[in-house]
Amino acid sequence: MSDLYPVDPAFAAQANLSAADYQRDYAQARQDPDAFWGQMATRLDWYTAPTVIKDVSFDLKDFRIRWFADGQLNASVNCLDRHLATNGDKTALIFEPDSPDAVAQKLTYRQLHARVCQLANALRNLGIGKGDRVTIYLPMIPEAAIAMLACARIGAIHMVVFGGFAPNSIADRVADCTSKLIITADEGLRGGKKVPLKANVDAALKLPGTHSVETVLVVRHTGGAVDMQMPRDRWLDAVMDGQPATCEPERMHAEDPLFILYTSGSTGKPKGVLHTTAGYLLWSAYTHDVTFDLKPEDVFWCTADVGWVTGHSYIVYGPLANGCTEVMFEGVPNYPNFSRFWEVIDKHQVTIFYTAPTAIRALMREGEAPVRATSRKSLRLLGSVGEPINPEAWRWYFDVVGEARCPIVDTWWQTETGGILITPIPGVTDLKPGSATQPLPGVVPALVDAEGHVLHGATEGNLVLLDSWPGQMRSVYGDHQRFIDTYFKTYPGMYFSGDGCRRDADGYYWITGRVDDVINVSGHRIGTAEVESALVLHKDVAEAAVVGFPHDLKGQGIYAYVTLKQGIEPSEALRRELVQQVRNEIGPTATPDFIQWAPGLPKTRSGKIMRRILRKIAENAPDQLGDTTTLADPSVVESLVQNRREA
């Protein structure tokens, strides 16, 4: 299981960081964080350089997380303006459209800068300024990056909603952060299918709580017909037209908010994860550089969507702050055929490719031929993110995609962490398939037992971080107490990730998955509570309990136990209605894979649903139910086991 893939000496010889450099940096970041991060901060351009570097206490009585607090800077200036003098004509974005027959578009740093400034000016004219929240609901097109950077330029806080989310999810988020303006497109295009983005926004804005929205800017993308409601709705090209190609940036304090991104937790509605300007920007740039051994001539491609944190950190802020050339892909891995990823790599001579295990598993299922039909000679490094990668998929990625030539960086991190925390460094770390390996400098992981005792040596436990790093989230938007309660109360004095993890005898970390009520479906985080709320909205549903179960392609699937109201009979039609209900409420990513009709749910005498038991039934492991003696009615379990999904 734990076979070792030692660092290739040829890779190490050209790598930016040596093993000795890593050891030195790790030790210095631990012993003298002010000196280490003070030095690292010089990789950003500041109006006022920070003199106070780390100001952190995880102590609940004196809680604070501040980095570079007296510094001033602007994130868009760091991603654009500072490259203009020497690299203005370097390609920043290569846009590869959904259809391979459409023409790829290249934007240099100078062109990107001009478009960002024009949109920033337009936003200012529309009354948007520092601290205002702007919602972005766009497909994977250059305007997504332009919109984010235009917000950053004028100090507006962007809140990106994934293009796959339904109107209800848009409305909840818009209402929670009281957004004044939404940037969307007529339609999205994925795998040849149109996504009615503007129509979804229209539907969202009919829902309660969304009256804060004054303006909707619409990108003309597919040219599909949309309903423009004047004066609320404006075409984006029309408002940008004639705007100057320069725009005075807002001077931001290091701890001014940069963006909000909603993510699912174990309870309640998604939380607005708040990231601030300097620490986040530095962390995304630093980790992008170190993890991917970045060279000026690299062509980087991260296949994530900008609607997720991976797109924020490794499509927008990290790569652009580093002056990198990168691919932005609108499409999907299986359209028009299963060679698409590899064809795009050949077409744009991609050198670093960063994707998710779910995509690798789906492509692996199609066999080697679609890969072998392409060259992939340009590739020198591969990356994985979003969920544990099973060793079989890792080996296929390594042997078939990378032809045993490219190291794989399996990067563990979260929306909350802002950027990568645990990962191999190519040229430094020997690889083990399925292990995220070792922490980056500044990252102090530990494993704790249920009581919060730190465990030593080779062991398994809950993954916590004992100290802060600059990219850490700063708050839950509008609810700072929820931030503290969610992450710092379970184990006082530590940040709790919600992940379980094993550490082997070599000190390598192996993430085993979430230990809370969060399901990771194809690398997308879904809270069981959200799916349950969507199900019980249906008039025929009395109660619902949702758990994850192992799924060959998606990593985890969604398994729902549904109790119907008295007198309602289960039927295929009702099952379909319930699935549709969840899709309408949340979006297609939350589609239940299996609904089991449950005459009753296993509960303790105090009425608490015993999810441990439901998980085991969903996993098809009815012999591992454990202690059921505390159940109010043990016969419920027998009936569920008898009617469970067949493996």
Is the Cβ of residue 167 or residue 498 nearer to ligand PRX in the bound state?
498
Q: Find out whether 232 is annotated in a ligand binding site.
A: no
The reply to whether 114 sits near ligand PRX by the rule CB under 6 A is no
CB of 365 to ligand PRX, least distance (A): 20
Q: Find out whether 311 is annotated in a ligand binding site.
A: no
The reply to whether 589 sits near ligand PRX by the rule CB under 6 A is no
Tokens 């009581």 — which residue?
Answer: 451
The reply to whether 113 sits near ligand PRX by the rule CB under 6 A is no
Q: Starting from the edge strand earliest in sequence, which strands make up the sheet with 325-329, in order?
A: 105-108, 91-96, 325-329, 299-302, 352-355, 381-385, 408-411
Q: Decide: residue 585, CB within 10 A, 0-12 exposed, 13-18 middle, 19+ buried.
A: buried
Q: Find out whether 371 is annotated in a ligand binding site.
A: no
Is the Cβ of residue 415 or residue 475 nearer to ligand PRX in the bound state?
415
Q: Find out whether 612 is annotated in a ligand binding site.
A: no
The reply to whether 498 sits near ligand PRX by the rule CB under 6 A is yes
Q: Find out whether 499 is annotated in a ligand binding site.
A: yes
The reply to whether 415 sits near ligand PRX by the rule CB under 6 A is yes
Q: Find out whether 334 is annotated in a ligand binding site.
A: yes
The reply to whether 590 sits near ligand PRX by the rule CB under 6 A is no
Q: List phi, psi (to 5°) of 55.
A: -135, 85
How far, in Å, are 448, 464, 467 from residue 494 at the CA level?
10, 6, 7
Q: Which stretch binds ligand PRX (CB under 6 A): 51-59, 78-86, 496-504, 529-537?
A: 496-504
Beta bridge partners of 55: 66
Q: Find out whether 528 is annotated in a ligand binding site.
A: no
The reply to whether 96 sits near ligand PRX by the rule CB under 6 A is no
Q: Find out whether 541 is annotated in a ligand binding site.
A: yes
CB of 414 to ligand PRX, least distance (A): 4
Among 75, 145, 181, 385, the residue binding ligand PRX under the rule CB under 6 A is 385
Q: How many residues bind ligand PRX (CB under 6 A)?
A: 22
CB of 643 to ligand PRX, least distance (A): 30
Is the Cβ of residue 114 or residue 436 nearer to ligand PRX in the bound state?
436
91-96 and 325-329 as β-strands: parallel, antiparallel, unpaired? parallel
Q: Which stretch binds ligand PRX (CB under 6 A): 290-298, 344-352, 411-419, 597-605?
A: 411-419
**Which of 333, 329, 340, 346 shows the shortest CA–CA distance to 142?**
329
Q: Find out whether 86 is annotated in a ligand binding site.
A: no
Number of Cβ within 10 Å of residue 474's Cβ equals: 21
Q: Find out whether 454 is annotated in a ligand binding site.
A: no
CB of 445 to ligand PRX, least distance (A): 13
The reply to whether 265 sits near ligand PRX by the rule CB under 6 A is no
Q: Which stretch binds ligand PRX (CB under 6 A): 8-16, 145-153, 391-399, 412-420?
A: 412-420
Number of Cβ within 10 Å of residue 366's Cβ equals: 14
23: Cβ–Cβ under 8 A, 6 or more apart, which residues? none
211: tokens are: 């009256």
- Is-contact 232 59, C-beta < 8 A? no
Between the two ends of the chain, the Cα-to-Cα distance in Å is 25
Among 282, 309, 327, 625, the residue binding ligand PRX under the rule CB under 6 A is 309
Among 233, 410, 516, 532, the residue binding ligand PRX under the rule CB under 6 A is 410
Is the Cβ of residue 434 or residue 442 nearer to ligand PRX in the bound state?
434
The reply to whether 525 sits near ligand PRX by the rule CB under 6 A is yes
Is the Cβ of residue 201 or residue 447 nearer to ligand PRX in the bound state?
447
The reply to whether 464 sits near ligand PRX by the rule CB under 6 A is no
d(CA 530, CA 485): 19
DSSP class of residue 105 equals: E
Among 276, 351, 411, 556, the residue binding ligand PRX under the rule CB under 6 A is 411
d(CA 320, CA 45): 13
CB of 104 to ligand PRX, least distance (A): 26
177: Cβ–Cβ under 8 A, 6 or more apart, which residues? 133, 135, 157, 159, 260, 272, 477, 478
Q: Find out whether 190 is annotated in a ligand binding site.
A: yes
Among 168, 520, 528, 596, the residue binding ligand PRX under the rule CB under 6 A is 520
24 sits in which H/E element: helix 19-31
- Is-contact 263 289, C-beta < 8 A? no
The reply to whether 386 sits near ligand PRX by the rule CB under 6 A is yes
The reply to whether 387 sits near ligand PRX by the rule CB under 6 A is yes
CB of 276 to ligand PRX, least distance (A): 17
The reply to whether 339 sits near ligand PRX by the rule CB under 6 A is no
d(CA 272, CA 58): 20
Q: Find out whether 413 is annotated in a ligand binding site.
A: yes
Beta bridge partners of 384: 355, 410
Q: Which stretch binds ligand PRX (CB under 6 A): 31-39, 149-157, 379-387, 600-608?
A: 379-387
The reply to whether 499 sits near ligand PRX by the rule CB under 6 A is yes
Among 310, 355, 429, 522, the residue binding ligand PRX under the rule CB under 6 A is 310
The reply to whether 511 sits near ligand PRX by the rule CB under 6 A is yes
Dihedral sign computed on CA atoms, order 572, 575, 579, 585: positive
d(CA 224, CA 194): 9
d(CA 422, CA 439): 4
Q: Find out whether 193 is annotated in a ligand binding site.
A: yes
- Is-contact 482 47, C-beta < 8 A? no
CB of 105 to ligand PRX, least distance (A): 27
HEC string of 47-102 equals CECCCCCEEEECCHHHCEEEECCCCEECHHHHHHHHHHHHHCCCEEEEEECCCCCC
d(CA 170, CA 162): 9
Among 412, 488, 491, 495, the residue binding ligand PRX under the rule CB under 6 A is 412
- Is-contact 571 154, C-beta < 8 A? no
Beta bridge partners of 465: 445, 495
Return residues touching ligand PRX (CB under 6 A). 263, 309-310, 385-388, 410-415, 436, 497-499, 511, 513-514, 520, 525
Residues at the binding site for Mg(2+) are 536, 538, 541
Q: Which residue numbers belong to the known binding site for CoA?
A: 190-193, 310, 334, 522, 583
List the binding residues for ATP.
Answer: 386-388, 410-415, 499, 514, 525
